[in-house]
Amino acid sequence: MLSLSASYYSPSRLFSPFSSRNPLLFFTRSHRLALSRTRYRLLTVAASERENGIFTSPEIAKSFDFSAEERIYNWWESQGYFRPSFDRGSDPFVISMPPPNVTGSLHMGHAMFVTLEDIMIRYNRMKGRPTLWLPGTDHAGIATQLVVERMLASEGIKRTEMSRDEFTQRVWQWKEKYGGTITNQIKRLGASCDWSREHFTLDEQLSQAVAEAFVRLHEKGLIYQGSYMVNWSPTLQTAVSDLEVEYSEESGYLYHIKYRVAGSNDFLTVATTRPETLFGDVALAVHPKDERYSKYIGKMAIVPQTFGRHVLIIADKHVDREFGTGVLKISPGHDHNDYLLARKLGLPILNVMNKDGTLNDVAGLYSGLDRFEARKKLWAELEETGLAVKKEPHTLRVPRSQRGGEVIEPLVSKQWFVSMEPLAEKALEAVEKGRLTIVPERFEKIYNHWLSNIKDWCISRQLWWGHRIPVWYIVGKDNEEDYIVARNANEALEKALKKYGKDVEIYQDPDVLDTWFSSALWPFSTLGWPDLSEDDFKRFYPTTMLETGHDILFFWVARMVMMGIEFTGTVPFSYVYLHGLIRDSQGRKMSKTLGNVIDPLDTIKEFGTDALRFTLALGTAGQDLNLSTERLMSNKAFTNKLWNAGKFILQNLPNENDTSAWEKILSCKFDSEGSVYNLPLPECWVVSKLHLLIESASASYDKFYFGEVGREIYDFFWADFADWYIEASKGRLYHSQAGGNSVASVAQAVLLYTFENILKVLHPFMPFVTEELWQALPNRKHALIVSPWPKTQLPRDTSSIKKFENLQALVKAIRNARAEYSVEPAKRISASVVASNEVIEYISEEREVLALLSRLDLQNLHFTDSSPGNADQSVHLVAGEGLEAYLPLADMVDISAEVERLSKRLCKMQKEYDGLIAKLNSPQFIEKAPENVVRGVREKATEAEEKITLTKNRLALLNSNVLVSN
């Protein structure tokens, strides 16, 4: 492995111009010396390391270069860091990546799951656990077939003009050419997957697992074939899952149609949204307690436009008396509820539709018409015959295919199904018994409800791309009675020969399995199942975590749980972490129609991968996240702040050849109470706060509270380390005495220790900039990606934290006073700090820090336990209980000029106030003006009065100072 020291630089980079435009820095002679020492250190690095060119130091570059991310990623992968290592532990942490569709292109949903899963993997890798993040892609049956069919159409070729083998060959060619796009894009997000174990759901081994699963389920009687109501896609010519049907609110009509009651002149009026299905009517239904229709129950009605076909009028309590006319047409071949009712009552099932969405011969003269064309023609003819009552606007809940977008048709079709109830019972028990934990917990109720009311799963699809159903039929035999279920064609033929004799001929079922069937096996099929002796299966199954969007809890998660328990005897993962959807800044779902889609790759180019990841990770489990440019810009600024902090630290460390200086730094330890408690106050404070952060962040990582982790690190780095400690350290670094165990060495050690631990705890979120900065630090023994996680339970001095907070309060009060009086930033002012002897003792020890941070004149900074003699000519500040400060007014302003300015201002304010009072004293204004206007004037008058009082008080103070000076 390469040595990871401070400098993978090319020689050309070493003499790049250095920019001093850094808000963290101000240059002094000692600072320039530190910079020259650093350059000397760089020039002494071994040539082989300089020429590596993978990493760039903050001393060379003004800001982190996003183009370095791909180089860093490739280096990580080349070093084998993404593969599981058992060197430091034996309890693996395993995630099976939700396999994106092979047709896919990166979107924010992918960015979310990659970010969260990579955070988990990187954290556990640094904790010493062998980590396996197993990647792969899904063959996406419907989506991929659609893409290739469209490609062929552009060449003037129809799928139906090709043989099945020819078509699938073209799909494989397409996959080889374009199928890796999503994988490369996922890598761009920093996904530290073990790509050597990458899988595709149509891989030979996974395909064998699918056949094995089908055979085993069939042998147990859990897979069966039957004609049932399914969701049919006329365009795709296949059944689709209930979960792949999306319902949309659309404008339509409610058609009112007369049905004559046989043997009388009476009519029953039916209200329907789909009049073309009346050819499939087998009954009319009314509520048994609906007095309007009770006399017709048991009689026959004549279906319009069917040449007098009669249907029975029945009573059923499920009829909604309030909908339409209260008379329901029963078309069991074309409505899910009608289908269930017909099966319950033993009514016939009548199908009027072909699989391409046209009407069949049952529709008589309408045969061959498209379903929507038939609707128009039928209504026109009903109007001509007087059987049309009215057509009124109605909001429809239209089922559409998630893939193709066309209207789904409920249709009775012969399909293969899985009996789900026996499988669901065990999956429910897994959560109930605590063997599976769902995060956030509220999704347990949704999971339990769906599994408790589960329907059988239609697993066959009328496609050519996918796992062919492992069923073979016998030529000349009844398909429903005579078929062979086998793992492959050879086994099927062997079974057929044994059962039917040597002259038997067989052919395979043309359908393929639902894509989600193979995905349900993903956590164990990718590890070698059904071969239980496979090393990966023995070492890594069951997996640890399943992370995905809450919208596929049923599509995928619940099915994996059921299949995992069924085939392996154990839950396939211990935790399910469900993230929310990514929405735009206004909380709207991203869509091309709205034009609010944010491309992750474009975002990375502008803001960097780390900023995007950090933004996405700050959400809460299960909650949707609003993504805005402002958030991305803020987190890009965070990246720059990290970079500048690294620049400051590197430029203030001794060169590598200064053995004596480095011995002092390395002798500073922070793992015992004595080593921490004996530090000077600012150092003790920042190290104690760091140790609290490490403990809190580690606990939050373990609980999957990633948003909390990110916010804690952000606040500590920016508010505590960068804004306070780095600034405080400048006094140590630029003005401390040389020799001995100097304060400068302690400050250098604390800066280095704190910063390297910030990089560690932040690395899972922002891997690229943290690794780049880590590599620039001296004496790196490991890459950051595999560095040990910081220890917890490290010492922290809570009393020092309180003491430094008092010092901070004092600094803030002085800074606020300076701002209020517009004191020039560079001007040093006098101050008297008043407190108890105990407080004065520790505050006075840090007089240099106080003076540096507050811009005080160190020679005129006094500490006392009582008010100073010039208190009445000073600005009095109360920083906290028992801690005050007095700032001589003469130091802060030109008193005469300020008196003149405030007098003019007071005069102007008084005139404005008098005008407001005059308005309020006017009865005409009070009576005629709207109440809100009067209230607004009163509020302005009150505010103006307060400002006048404050200005008078300040003038009085200033005038008293003028008198004293005279």
Mean per-residue pLDDT, 311-323: 92
User: What is the strand order of the sheet 573-579 is part of?
Assistant: 131-134, 93-96, 543-549, 573-579, 437-439
pTM of the model: 0.83
Overall residue count recorded for the chain in this entry: 966
Distance of CA 895 to the CA centre of its chain: 57
Please state which of the ranges 146-150, 281-285, 523-527 shows the lowest mean pLDDT: 146-150
Q: Is the peptide bond before 275 cis (omega within 30 degrees of 0)?
A: no
**Alpha carbon distance 919, 942 (integer Å):** 13
811 is written with which tokens? 């600094």
Q: Which amino acid is at 139?
A: H
On average, the pLDDT of the chain sits at 89
Q: What's the CA dihedral at 55, 58, 64, 70 to 10 degrees?
A: 0
For the chain, percent of residues with pLDDT exceeding 70: 93
**Alpha carbon distance 468, 483 (integer Å):** 15
Confidence of residue 48 (pLDDT cuts 50, 70, 90): very low
3-class SS of residue 164? helix
388 is written with which tokens? 């049309």
Tokens 């330890």 identify what position? 669
Flag whether pLDDT at 6 surpasses 60: no
Please state which of the ranges 66-75, 86-95, 188-197, 478-487 shows the lowest mean pLDDT: 478-487
403 is written with which tokens? 């893939």
CA-nearest of 740, 757, 886 to 813 is 886
Confidence of residue 22 (pLDDT cuts 50, 70, 90): very low
Q: Residue 466: what are its φ and ψ, rounded to 5°?
A: 150, -165
CA distances from 344 to 332, 340, 348, 411, 934 (A): 11, 6, 11, 18, 72
22 touches 743 (CB < 8 A): no
DSSP states of 583-642: E-TTSPBP-TTTT----HHHHHHHH-HHHHHHHHHTS-TTS-EE--HHHHHHHHHHHHHH
**Alpha carbon distance 616, 610 (integer Å):** 10
pLDDT of residue 242: 78
CA-nearest of 833, 893, 843, 830 to 868 is 833
Residue 163, judged by CB atoms within 10 A of its CB (0-12, 13-18, 19+), counts as exposed
76 touches 82 (CB < 8 A): yes
Q: Is the peptide bond before 440 cis (omega within 30 degrees of 0)?
A: yes
**Alpha carbon distance 855, 832 (integer Å):** 14
Cβ count near 879 (within 10 Å): 21
**Alpha carbon distance 578, 623 (integer Å):** 9
User: In three state form, how does the secondary structure of 307-349 look?
Assistant: CCCEEEEEECCCCCCCCCCCCEEECCCCCHHHHHHHHHHCCCC
pLDDT of residue 236: 83
pLDDT of residue 1: 30
**Alpha carbon distance 817, 466 (integer Å):** 73
**Alpha carbon distance 33, 196 (integer Å):** 49
**Alpha carbon distance 861, 845 (integer Å):** 12
Buried residues in 286-300 as b, exposed as e (16+ CB within 10 A): bbeeeeebeebbebb
Question: If you ran DSSP here, which 8-state letter would residue 680 be given?
Answer: -
3-class SS of residue 940? helix
245 touches 231 (CB < 8 A): yes
777 touches 792 (CB < 8 A): no
Flag whether pLDDT at 594 surpasses 80: no
Mean per-residue pLDDT, 785-789: 97
Please state which of the ranges 96-100, 484-488, 514-518, 917-921 shows the lowest mean pLDDT: 917-921
CA-nearest of 97, 101, 137 to 118 is 97
Flag whether pLDDT at 45 surpasses 80: no
pLDDT of residue 961: 63
890 is written with which tokens? 């003469």
CA distances from 752 to 335, 731, 743, 769 (A): 70, 16, 14, 16
**Alpha carbon distance 681, 784 (integer Å):** 30
Q: Which amino acid is at 276?
A: E
Mean per-residue pLDDT, 484-498: 95
CA-nearest of 134, 110, 917 to 582 is 110
Question: If you ran DSSP here, which 8-state letter would residue 364 be given?
Answer: G
Q: Residue 231: what are its φ and ψ, rounded to 5°?
A: -90, 120
Question: If you ran DSSP here, which 8-state letter would residue 541 be given?
Answer: -
pLDDT of residue 593: 66
322 touches 315 (CB < 8 A): no
Using only C-alpha atoms, the chain has a radius of gyration, in whole angstroms, of 38
**Alpha carbon distance 22, 31 (integer Å):** 13
CA distances from 166 to 157, 158, 170, 508 (A): 12, 12, 6, 17
Q: What's the CA dihedral at 104, 109, 115, 121 to 10 degrees?
A: -70
Flag whether pLDDT at 41 surpasses 50: no
Flag whether pLDDT at 412 surpasses 70: yes
pLDDT tens, position by position, 685-722: 999 999 999 999 999 999 999 999 999 999 999 999 99
Mean per-residue pLDDT, 329-338: 93
Flag whether pLDDT at 269 surpasses 90: yes
pLDDT of residue 10: 30
Mean per-residue pLDDT, 32-60: 51
69 touches 609 (CB < 8 A): yes
Number of H helices, E strands in the chain: 35, 29
